[in-house]
Amino acid sequence: MNVLRFVIAGVVVFVAFLVLQNFIVHGLILKGAYEATADVWREDMMSKMPLMYLLTLIISFLLVFIFHKGYEGRGLAEGLRFGFWLGLLMNLSMALGSYAAYPVPGLLALQWFIYGMIIYLIVGVIIAAIYRPAQAAAASGAPGVGGSEPMT
């Protein structure tokens, strides 16, 4: 395993989650929906944010690890496929599970699912872009991080 590539991918995915999920989706797009359902959420939710950041960091590195273990060198399409399947796994359980357990509107659960899928597709492409072989990165002019190596 190329440790540098793994760490770079994990950090980039973590930052992508923070920006896309925490700031854009939850902080901007769904802010009104959260305000309209304020009675559902913890009053001290912000005090729990360090735990959420830690969870996001762990998930980021787990996603990169899973991608690395199944890496087939098929380019960005592989990242889209990875993002799609992991997005389904994570977002179906989160959105539908939350809808079943908490008094949140169905539209909010649907938005969680849709935005979550978009985020996972983007994250899958990011990981695939970081993991693509150096030759492909050089040919496209994109920065690559090391070459491809066999799975271990």
Q: Is residue 40 part of a domain?
A: no
Res 147 pLDDT > 50: no
Res 150 pLDDT > 70: no
Q: Is residue 73 part of a domain?
A: yes
Q: What is the pLDDT of residue 151?
A: 39
* Cα–Cα distance for residue pair 35/5, rounded to 1 Å: 40
Average pLDDT, the chain: 90
Encode pLDDT of 72-97 as tens digits: 888 999 999 999 999 999 999 999 99
Q: Is residue 69 part of a domain?
A: yes
Q: What is the pLDDT of residue 148?
A: 46
What is the domain extent for residue 9?
A: 3-29+50-140
Q: What is the pLDDT of residue 73?
A: 87
How many CA atoms are closer than 13 Å to the CA of 85, on its beta-carbon side? 9
Proportion of the chain above pLDDT 70, given as a percent: 88
- 80 within 8 A of 121, measured Cβ to Cβ: yes
Q: Is residue 23 part of a domain?
A: yes
Q: Give the global pTM.
A: 0.85
Q: Is residue 36 part of a domain?
A: no
Encode pLDDT of 38-66 as tens digits: 999 988 888 999 999 999 999 999 999 99
Tell me which amino acid residue 3 is: V
Q: How far is CA 46 from CA 17, 38, 63, 80, 151, in A?
A: 17, 13, 25, 33, 40
Encode pLDDT of 7-36 as tens digits: 999 999 999 999 999 999 999 999 999 999
Q: Is residue 85 part of a domain?
A: yes
Q: Is residue 93 part of a domain?
A: yes
Number of folded domains that form the chain: 1
Q: Is residue 39 part of a domain?
A: no
